Amino acid sequence: MSREIPYKIYLEEKDMPKQWYNVRADMKNKPAPLLNPVTFQPMTFEELRPVFCDELVKQELDDTTPYIDIPQEILDFYKMYRPAPLVRAYCLEKKLDTPAKIYYKFEGNNTSGSHKLNSAIAQAYYAKNQGLKGVTTETGAGQWGTALAMACAYLELDCQVYMVKCSYEQKPFRREVMRTYGAKVTPSPSDTTEIGRKILAEHPGTSGSLGCAISEAVEAASKQEGYRYVLGSVLNQVLLHQTIIGLEAKAAMDQYDIVPDVIIGCAGGGSNLGGLISPFMGEKLRGERDYCFIAVEPASCPSLTRGRFAYDYCDTGMVCPLAKMYTLGSGFIPSASHSGGLRYHGMSPVLSQLYHDGLMEARSVEQTSVFAAAEQFARVEGILPAPESSHAIKVAIDEALRCRETGEEKTILFGLTGTGYFDMYAYEKFNDGKMTDTIPTDEDLAKGFAGLPHVPGAGA
Ligand SMILES: *Cc1c(COP(=O)(O)O)cnc(C)c1O
């Protein structure tokens, strides 16, 4: 019963998922709990409430409920830009002359240009519902800040964004998009917070980092009545919201009896990849079906492939709870690569645990090869991909080329997380032949590991 497969598969509105899927419910080894950075005890609901809004704390701590209803208002918002298309990359397949079948789930169809809006609207909704005035956050490349600004504008919530200084300067248009949606944008480190002033004093002239912007945003939220901090990746709650990606992709594939063999995604903090693979991983965890999952990260920030699986701070200022994850150390500042969204020192605890248990693979790739893949993709499939997303493209192409050699007709699914219109400075460097690859040495990494906290009883 093989029906011809269209170039794009769109779910009908009535078939869109109405619940998120919590993969933790099916994990035998649950991700380790967040720890209080002072007592080293698991963070409780009461301890997390001052930082995150109540409903999100519940989601963060919930390891057992497999399906969680998506509130109607969020479903309605999703309808503005979802379902995202599942695209059969016929043109790329032809160009590569591969027997592999390639599909990608495209999340770039909204103004933020990435998947981040899926969680931004959920987090803003729960904050609004709790009667809060506003939220604070950090942004690296700017996609998360934009997504949150859009969600907050829609719900009439105040939005304050600490933007990593080098992006603030390199991407003035991103900043203007955020301001257009009503957000207040501050370059980080700034002199508006205690931690920002401390970092500036210790590292004058620093171009900032995500970990440092997180510390500032957390401090800003804690000092204003009616504000909470929100985070665009890494946390369990964010991964949960992003499962809309995988649920839609799976529903679309099921309609045509397509079963992927390999599922590939780029991994920054891990939420998009976690969201894409969750429903498939659930089947694997329950022993129903096997898949190969591949996380792709930059060689300049190789948390999974070269990091340690240990408790670490989520931020440079060490004010956030400790998470057990693959990490390069919260003091690790990656080279100024052009994939801002992948420059985080840690990785989602859920993905970290799955990787640790051998349920997922990881590869690291160099940025010049990533941009070469991005251009190849843009020229045949039309979409100008974000540098982050292009990490997944690179490995998808590698896999398809391998199939050409072996003759295997594998079905490959990858996540195309967004578009790269704000990354033209990076494309320019690549086109001019001026892009370089910076790979940290073992000594560079050792410095980051030296800053890992010693957690009693965690064997670290
Ligand atoms: C933020 C971002 C990523 C990284 O996403 P994670 O969920 O943190 O891994 C990838 N691609 C794009 C386009 C992004 O904006």
Query: Which ligand 1 atom is at minimum distance from the Cα of 419?
Result: 13
Residues 125 and 212 in one domain: yes
CA–CA dist 408, 292 (Å, integer) = 15
The band of 460, judged by pLDDT with boundaries at 50, 70 and 90, is very low
Alpha carbon of 108 to ligand 1 centroid (Å): 11
Alpha carbon of 114 to ligand 1 centroid (Å): 7
In this model, does residue 156 exceed pLDDT 80? yes
For ligand 1, atom 14, which residue shows the shortest CA distance?
A: 341
The confidence score (pLDDT) of residue 83 equals 97
Q: How many CB atoms lie within 10 A of CB 6?
A: 13
The band of 136, judged by pLDDT with boundaries at 50, 70 and 90, is very high
For ligand 1, atom 2, which residue shows the shortest CA distance?
A: 341
CA–CA dist 290, 1 (Å, integer) = 23
Alpha carbon of 4 to ligand 1 centroid (Å): 32
Helix (H) or strand (E) holding 295, with range, is strand 292-298
Which tens digit of pLDDT belongs to each residue from 15-71? 999 999 999 999 999 999 999 999 999 999 999 998 889 999 999 999 999 999 999
For ligand 1, atom 4, which residue shows the shortest CA distance?
A: 268
Residues 196 and 258 in one domain: no
Query: Domain for residue 270, yes or no?
Result: yes
253's CB contacts (< 8 A; 6+ apart) are: 9, 86, 103, 259, 260, 413
CB 361 within 8 A of CB 293: yes
Q: Evaluate: CB of 388 within 6 angstroms of ligand 1.
A: yes
Alpha carbon of 457 to ligand 1 centroid (Å): 33
> Domain boundary residue among 201, 229, 257?
229
Per the listing, tokens 């894409």 go with: 276
The confidence score (pLDDT) of residue 2 equals 54
Q: How far apart are the first and last CA of the chain?
A: 54
CATH of the domain at 103: 3.40.50.1100
Query: Domain for residue 3, yes or no?
Result: no
Q: Evaluate: CB of 341 within 6 angstroms of ligand 1.
A: yes
Distances (CA, A) of 168 to 21, 141, 150, 191, 344: 35, 8, 18, 15, 17
Quote the tokens at residue 95. 């160009």
Residues 378 and 438 in one domain: yes
Q: Evaluate: CB of 128 within 6 angstroms of ligand 1.
A: no
Q: Evaluate: CB of 267 within 6 angstroms of ligand 1.
A: yes
Predicted TM-score (pTM) of the model is 0.96
Strands of the sheet containing 227-229, edge to edge, are: 184-188, 158-164, 134-139, 227-229
Query: Domain for residue 179, yes or no?
Result: yes
In this model, does residue 1 exceed pLDDT 50? no
Q: Evaluate: CB of 440 within 6 angstroms of ligand 1.
A: no
CA–CA dist 23, 30 (Å, integer) = 10
CB 308 within 8 A of CB 458: no
Average pLDDT for 285-310: 97
The separation between CA 416 and the C-alpha centre of its own chain, rounded to angstroms, equals 12
Residues 348 and 284 in one domain: yes
How long is the chain? 460
DSSP state of 6: P
CA–CA dist 107, 105 (Å, integer) = 6
Residues 49 and 189 in one domain: yes
Query: Which ligand 1 atom is at minimum distance from the Cα of 272?
Result: 7
For ligand 1, atom 13, which residue shows the shortest CA distance?
A: 418
In this model, does residue 211 exceed pLDDT 90? no
Alpha carbon of 272 to ligand 1 centroid (Å): 6
DSSP string, 338-366: S-GGG--SS--HHHHHHHHTTSSEEEEE-
The amino acid sitting at 122 is: A
Q: Evaluate: CB of 417 within 6 angstroms of ligand 1.
A: yes
Residues 319 and 295 in one domain: yes
Query: Which ligand 1 atom is at minimum distance from the Cα of 113?
Result: 13
Structural domains of the chain, count: 2
Residues 43 and 151 in one domain: yes
Q: Evaluate: CB of 384 within 6 angstroms of ligand 1.
A: no
In this model, does residue 153 exceed pLDDT 90? yes
CB 335 within 8 A of CB 445: no
Identify each DSSP E strand in 51-150 by its residue range: 67-69, 86-88, 101-106, 134-139
* CA angle, residues 411, 414, 416, in degrees to nearest 5: 145
Average pLDDT for 67-77: 98
Average pLDDT for the chain:
95
The residue among 350, 337, 366, 57 whose CA lies nearest residue 210 is: 337
CA–CA dist 305, 219 (Å, integer) = 32
Q: Evaluate: CB of 209 within 6 angstroms of ligand 1.
A: no
> SS3 letters for 173-198?
HHHHHHHHCCCEEEEECCCCCHHHHH
Alpha carbon of 347 to ligand 1 centroid (Å): 12
DSSP state of 140: S
Alpha carbon of 68 to ligand 1 centroid (Å): 23
Residues 198 and 273 in one domain: no
Return the percentage of the chain with pLDDT > 90, whole number: 87
Residues 178 and 323 in one domain: no
Per the listing, tokens 């985070």 go with: 231
Residues 176 and 272 in one domain: no
Higher pLDDT, 204 or 279: 279
CB 354 within 8 A of CB 361: no
Query: Domain for residue 460, yes or no?
Result: no
Task: Find the farthest-apart pair of alpha carbons in the chain and give their distance in angstroms, rounded.
Answer: 67
Alpha carbon of 356 to ligand 1 centroid (Å): 21
The confidence score (pLDDT) of residue 459 equals 55
DSSP string, 305-316: HH-EEEEEESST
Query: Domain for residue 1, yes or no?
Result: no
Return the percentage of the chain with pLDDT > 70, whole number: 99
Q: Evaluate: CB of 315 within 6 angstroms of ligand 1.
A: no
The amino acid sitting at 309 is: F
In this model, does residue 142 exceed pLDDT 70? yes
Q: Residue 288 burial (CB < 10 Å; 0-12/13-18/19+)?
A: exposed
Residues 401 and 272 in one domain: yes
Q: In a 3-state reduction of DSSP, which class is residue 139?
A: strand
Q: Which of 109, 111, 116, 383 to mutate to test the pocket of ligand 1 (most atoms within 8 A of CB)?
A: 116
Q: Evaluate: CB of 387 within 6 angstroms of ligand 1.
A: no
> Domain boundary residue among 229, 263, 296?
229
Q: Which of 89-93, 94-98, 203-207, 293-297 has the lowest mean pLDDT?
A: 203-207
CA–CA dist 252, 254 (Å, integer) = 5
Which tens digit of pLDDT belongs to each residue from 334-357? 877 777 778 889 999 999 999 999
Measured in degrees and rounded to the nearest 5, phi and psi for residue 308 equal -105, 145
In this model, does residue 456 exceed pLDDT 80? yes
Q: Which of 109, 115, 241 to mutate to test the pocket of ligand 1 (most atoms within 8 A of CB)?
A: 115
Distances (CA, A) of 23 to 124, 273, 315: 23, 13, 25
The confidence score (pLDDT) of residue 331 equals 84
Which tens digit of pLDDT belongs to each residue from 345-401? 999 999 999 999 999 999 999 999 999 999 999 999 999 999 999 999 999 999 999
Query: Domain for residue 175, yes or no?
Result: yes
CA–CA dist 445, 329 (Å, integer) = 8
Helix (H) or strand (E) holding 279, with range, is helix 271-285
The confidence score (pLDDT) of residue 457 equals 76
Domain that holds residue 61: 30-69+116-229
Alpha carbon of 403 to ligand 1 centroid (Å): 27
Residues 128 and 176 in one domain: yes
> Domain boundary residue among 176, 209, 229?
229
Query: Domain for residue 77, yes or no?
Result: no
Q: Evaluate: CB of 352 within 6 angstroms of ligand 1.
A: no
Half-sphere exposure of 420 (CA within 13 A, CB side): 27
Before 189, cis peptide (omega within 30)? Answer: yes
Alpha carbon of 232 to ligand 1 centroid (Å): 9
133's CB contacts (< 8 A; 6+ apart) are: 157, 158, 224, 225, 226, 227
For ligand 1, atom 8, which residue shows the shortest CA distance?
A: 269
The confidence score (pLDDT) of residue 360 equals 98
Query: Domain for residue 76, yes or no?
Result: no
Query: Which ligand 1 atom is at minimum distance from the Cα of 234?
Result: 8
